[in-house]
Structure 1
Amino acid sequence: MKFLPLLIVVVLVATHAASPPELYWKSMLPATSMPKFITELLHPAVIVGKAGGDTTIHVRHNITFGNQNYAYAAVSDTEFNNIPNTTLFFLEKDMKPGHRMNFQFMQTSNQSFFLPREVVKSVSFSSGNQMAQILKEFDVKAGSTEAKVLKETVELCEKPGVKGEEKYCATSLESMVDFITLKLGKNVEAFSTEVNKGTKKQEYTIKQGVKKVGEAKVVVCHKLNYICALFYCHKTETTIAYTVPLVGADGTKVKALSLCHTDTSGWNPKHLAFQVLKVKPGSVPVCHFLSQDNVVWVLCHK
């Protein structure tokens, strides 16, 4: 990776001191604990170079293709027939101790970190004519797999939300906090799925301790495939959030987050959930677990 000549270089490395994003979190959300998953995305090593008015941001990156469809799209018969034997969706009534299901809690292969807000603000974010500038700023080769992923991610952020959804793509931890406080206020809790070790596809059993942690006003932030940590956050008022203790056949313990969508009347009738559960849109709540790279924000009731 080549650096521009006459660089003005700023290097941020991991330290024990609180980073600006952490300090901002504490100032805006002093009573809210930061999920472990979020803390692992802080303290990146970032090199920002400037020369002749151009900016190049050099970061470690490993972006991959993945499921980034949060628009409740239809699934073809061919796609449905090729789905592995995994519990993708389930009914709210099944979320009880003793119920078993096959699942795999995947960790994202995208190890991108949060960049400081002042750095992110200087970067273009548009799939149109600015796409070439994004690739240049992040030192990504045009026509590469990474370039295609970046374009798909930006296009997803530009699409309008579905009916009743308020969406926002947060390019920094600070902007995520701003969106949360705008939509929910400062009296909030943040949750993410926690797994005590690496997982494989296996049978999990729900244990005692299923707990409803949020209802109606819930914001969910999904980590997208991008060169820096980028989250697709959306707020709905037809969602219930639960924490669900699970134990795998090999003893793996998971504190899983489950979302139940109480109004699916506006979803595409060919959505995968209806095909898996054999129910009709709007008939019953549809539930699913969240992977470890998601954050759920709910109103605090303590």
Structure 2
Amino acid sequence: MAFRPSQHNRTISAGLAAILLVTVASFLGRNAAAASTTRSRREMMQQTNAQSSDAWLLQMLAGMRSPLSKAESDRFAELYKKTGSVGDLCEAGKLYCDAKSFNLYYQNLLQFDGKKQEKDISVFFRETELLVGREISIEDPRLQSAALEKNRLQLAEFDTPSGSVGMSKYNYLNVAKMPERSFLPAELAQTLPFSSDSAVKVFQLDPSSILAQESAKTFQICQEGIHKDGTTELNGEAAACATSLEALQSLVRSPMLLGPHDAANVKALSTDERLHSGSSFRGKVVKVSLEASVEQRHAVCHNLMYPSAVYFCHYLQRTRVYTVMLQPLDAAGAQQRHLVRAIAMCHMDTTGWNPRHLAFQNLLTLPGHGEACHWVLQGSMTFVPTA
């Protein structure tokens, strides 16, 4: 289900970017005031560096805003209505339509040390690992992506066992560094068709290309997997997709995800970009904060592949969200100066998950036998209530 922004939310000036800017400003202000009286200058520097993920989130969203003016957007909309073509929209709108380069990207994504198997890549962990003073390792996001995608392809080869639908048909944990793309302007996103073959017809992609296939999978997640009421086949999940920045703004504020009360009071969380650097990370837990309990609603938005930016946002019941502050350690175990912030999500009930899911290979357990936690990494955003 592609989310349509309401009429009063079709300008982004006071929208999602403003939400995030206010969140960052108030967060920095509160902590700076406290730090000035209770912490040393070194601790202040650590805290400031740990908060850089907020700036990264703002920068990411700003970079995805369409470069098209209103007049240019209208011109492409009229061009499509008259000819069924979008002309040079890919270049003018900073979209991604290069099927050959995406094929290389995808092939590289699936390559890792041939001595390792998917189960050897640690993506999932237990909630008990989030303890102050504990040393933890976070796998290279590229290896996590490879393991998850290979597992998804394996799951697709088998019929889902009766009663085991969760986390099997779709993989929402795409932590790969996606090719950079901009959103479409809201009106243009509503004019151009969004269907299983729209990437082929609208953007003239080779239907046999991996980019076309991934784009069709995105539509499948956004349309075929989400019912009209916003629910999915996963038990207790509410979800929708946003195909424009304005739609993402409306979706984050939608009661469907965060409920009628919390939708008006949200803050954005993101993992520090230094954990996306393309290498494994080792650190010591110095602080763990529960951001959303199993009784609280939250929203997580994942970057899906399509020629233009598309985000899948969902809320899943019986899940906890944590902010974890980490003290980086070097290869010799020496502590580094700057703290790093990571967002962890723990699914407390895995009863309906496919028994072949990577989580159970990592944890050496079965569906329904304990929780499965993972880090919210590259290209994903988490929104939680502020009260």
TM-score range, shorter chain: 0.7 to 0.9
2:243 to 163, 167, 171: 171
DSSP 3-state at the match of 1:154: helix
Alpha-carbon distance between aligned partners in 2 of 1:40 and 1:206, rounded to the nearest angstrom = 32
Compared with structure 1, are the counterparts of its residues 245 and 192 closer, same or farther at alpha carbon in structure 2 (3 Å cutoff)?
A: same
Question: Residue 276 of structure 2 contacts residue 378 of structure 2 at CA under 8 Å; is this kept in 1?
Answer: no
Alpha-carbon distance between aligned partners in 2 of 1:116 and 1:203, rounded to the nearest angstrom = 37
Q: Percent identity?
A: 26
1:152 aligns with 2:225: no
Give the structure with the larger helix fraction. Answer: 2
State the match for 1:219 in structure 2: 299
Question: Residue 178 of structure 2 contacts residue 379 of structure 2 at CA under 8 Å; is this kept in 1?
Answer: no
State the match for 2:330 in structure 1: 249
State the match for 1:237 in structure 2: 317
1:152 partner amino acid? K
Deviation of 1:198 (Å): 5.8
2:195 to 117, 126, 135: 126
Alpha-carbon distance between aligned partners in 2 of 1:199 and 1:25, rounded to the nearest angstrom = 26
State the match for 1:44 in structure 2: 67
Alpha-carbon distance between aligned partners in 1 of 2:181 and 2:302, rounded to the nearest angstrom = 13
State the match for 1:90 in structure 2: 125
2:140 partner amino acid? Q
The alignment yields a C-alpha RMSD, in angstroms, of 3.2
Deviation of 1:104 (Å): 1.6
Q: After the TM superposition, which residues 44-83 of structure 1 pair with which residues of structure 2 at under 5 Å, given as runs? A: 44=67, 48=73, 49=76, 50-51=78-79, 52-56=82-86, 57-58=89-90, 59-62=93-96, 64=102, 82-83=117-118
Question: Residue 153 of structure 1 contacts residue 225 of structure 1 at CA under 8 Å; is this kept in 2?
Answer: yes
1:202 partner amino acid? S
Alpha-carbon distance between aligned partners in 1 of 2:275 and 2:360, rounded to the nearest angstrom = 32
Question: Residue 89 of structure 1 contacts residue 288 of structure 1 at CA under 8 Å; is this kept in 2?
Answer: yes
Unaligned runs of 5+ in 2: 1-9, 25-53, 107-115, 143-175, 227-231
Question: Residue 202 of structure 1 contacts residue 249 of structure 1 at CA under 8 Å; is this kept in 2?
Answer: no
State the match for 2:38 in structure 1: none
State the match for 1:186 in structure 2: 264
Of 173-182 and 52-61, more deviation after overlay is shown by: 52-61
State the match for 2:16 in structure 1: 25
DSSP 3-state at the match of 2:118: coil
Equivalent residue pairs, number: 268
State the match for 2:32 in structure 1: none
Deviation of 1:287 (Å): 0.5
Deviation of 1:168 (Å): 1.0
Compared with structure 1, are the counterparts of its residues 29 and 87 closer, same or farther at alpha carbon in structure 2 (3 Å cutoff)?
A: closer
Deviation of 1:285 (Å): 1.8
Question: Residue 62 of structure 1 contacts residue 110 of structure 1 at CA under 8 Å; is this kept in 2?
Answer: yes
TM-score w.r.t. the length of structure 2 is: 0.61
State the match for 1:103 in structure 2: 139
Question: Residue 303 of structure 2 contacts residue 309 of structure 2 at CA under 8 Å; is this kept in 1?
Answer: yes
DSSP 3-state at the match of 1:111: coil
State the match for 2:110 in structure 1: none
1:258 partner amino acid? A
Question: Residue 188 of structure 1 contacts residue 299 of structure 1 at CA under 8 Å; is this kept in 2?
Answer: yes
1:259 partner amino acid? M
Of 28-37 and 156-165, more deviation after overlay is shown by: 28-37
Unaligned runs of 5+ in 1: 1-18, 68-80
Deviation of 1:170 (Å): 1.3
Alpha-carbon distance between aligned partners in 1 of 2:269 and 2:138, rounded to the nearest angstrom = 23
Task: Provide, for residues 43-86 of structure 1, a one-character-per-residue CA deviation record: whole Å limited to 9, x for no partner.
Answer: 5358643443535133334474799xxxxxxxxxxxxx722743
Deviation of 1:125 (Å): 1.3
1:275 aligns with 2:347: no
State the match for 1:289 in structure 2: 375
Task: Provide, for residues 4-33 of structure 1, a one-character-per-residue CA deviation record: whole Å limited to 9, x for no partner.
Answer: xxxxxxxxxxxxxxx942433367888545
TM-score w.r.t. the length of structure 1 is: 0.76
Task: Provide, for residues 249-285 of structure 1, a one-character-per-residue CA deviation record: whole Å limited to 9, x for no partner.
Answer: 3658632111001111111222211121112322322
1:138 aligns with 2:203: yes
Compared with structure 1, are the counterparts of its residues 259 and 139 closer, same or farther at alpha carbon in structure 2 (3 Å cutoff)?
A: same
1:210 aligns with 2:275: no
Deviation of 1:203 (Å): 4.2
1:88 partner amino acid? V
Deviation of 1:289 (Å): 0.5
